[in-house]
Amino acid sequence: MVEQVGLEFVTRGYTKAVGEVTSFGRATGLFVKEVTNAAQKTEATSKKILDQIKVVRDATRATREYTNMLVQNARANQEVINSLTGVNREYKSAQQSASVFSSEIERLSMKYKPLYAAEMAHKKALEEINTANRLGILTDAQRADSIKSLNDSLRQSARHVNQVSQGLNKQGLVVQQAG
């Protein structure tokens, strides 16, 4: 009897285990089916997104090409307008005139304004001193001495120019009074 009870117990356990495995198998099958469906939907959505990206990329390329064409046309039109109105010739001529005029003013100022000439020479010498210092030709102490000497020279030139100017002013007053 014990053997029969044991056999029935094992049979029930086996039947129950087979039922649970079958149930688990069905649940797993349903889960796999759902995952497969979700993956297919994701793949379809991804394909649609990629197709839209290609459309946007193509539209962007076409817009860029069209914009480049418009820019080229605008430049060509501006060149025609400039050639018809002579804008380029006048601009180049005005630019050259301004450059020549500026150079001539600088030359005459250097020639007839001694204080201006002294200031420009001072500026150039100061740039040379600083360049020599940066290149290591002069030490900081030598640079300071050179700048002091240069400044003293400029002050002396300015005093000399002022004295000459005062003398000329006095001479002009005498001439006017005698006049």
DSSP line for the chain: -HHHHHHHHHHHHHHHHHHHHHHHHHHHHHHHHHHHHHHHHHHHHHHHHHHHHHHHHHHHHHHHHHHHHHHHHHHHHHHHHHHHHTHHHHHHHHHHHHHHHHHHHHHHHHHH-HHHHHHHHHHHHHHHHHHHHHTTSS-HHHHHHHHHHHHHHHHHHHHHHHHHHHHHHHHHHHHHHH-
Question: Any idea which residue has 């285990």 for tokens?
Answer: 17
Contacts of 117 (CB under 8 A, 6+ apart): 109, 110, 111
Residue 94 included in any domain:
no
Name which of 4-13, 14-23, 51-60 the model is least confident about: 4-13
| pLDDT above 60 for 119 | yes
pLDDT at 127: 93
Q: Considering 14, 42, 71, which residue would you say is the last residue of a domain?
A: 71
- Clarify whether residues 179 and 112 are in a common domain: yes
Q: Considering 16, 47, 71, which residue would you say is the last residue of a domain?
A: 71
Residue 95 included in any domain:
no
Distance of CA 113 to the CA centre of its chain: 43
d(CA 130, CA 147): 9
pLDDT mean across residues, the chain: 79
Residue 43 included in any domain:
yes
For 89-106, the pLDDT digits (tens) are 656 677 777 787 888 888
Residue 77 included in any domain:
no
Residue 87 included in any domain:
no
Residue 118 included in any domain:
yes
Residue 150 included in any domain:
yes
Residue 156 included in any domain:
yes
Indicate the number of domains in the chain: 2
- Clarify whether residues 6 and 59 are in a common domain: yes
- Clarify whether residues 119 and 173 are in a common domain: yes
- Clarify whether residues 116 and 161 are in a common domain: yes
Domain that residue 140 falls in: 108-179
Amino acid making up residue 38: A
d(CA 69, CA 73): 6
CB 83 within 8 A of CB 89: no
- Clarify whether residues 8 and 66 are in a common domain: yes
pLDDT at 5: 57
Provide mean pLDDT across the span 40-59: 83
- Clarify whether residues 67 and 115 are in a common domain: no
Provide mean pLDDT across the span 131-144: 93
Q: Considering 71, 97, 116, which residue would you say is the last residue of a domain?
A: 71
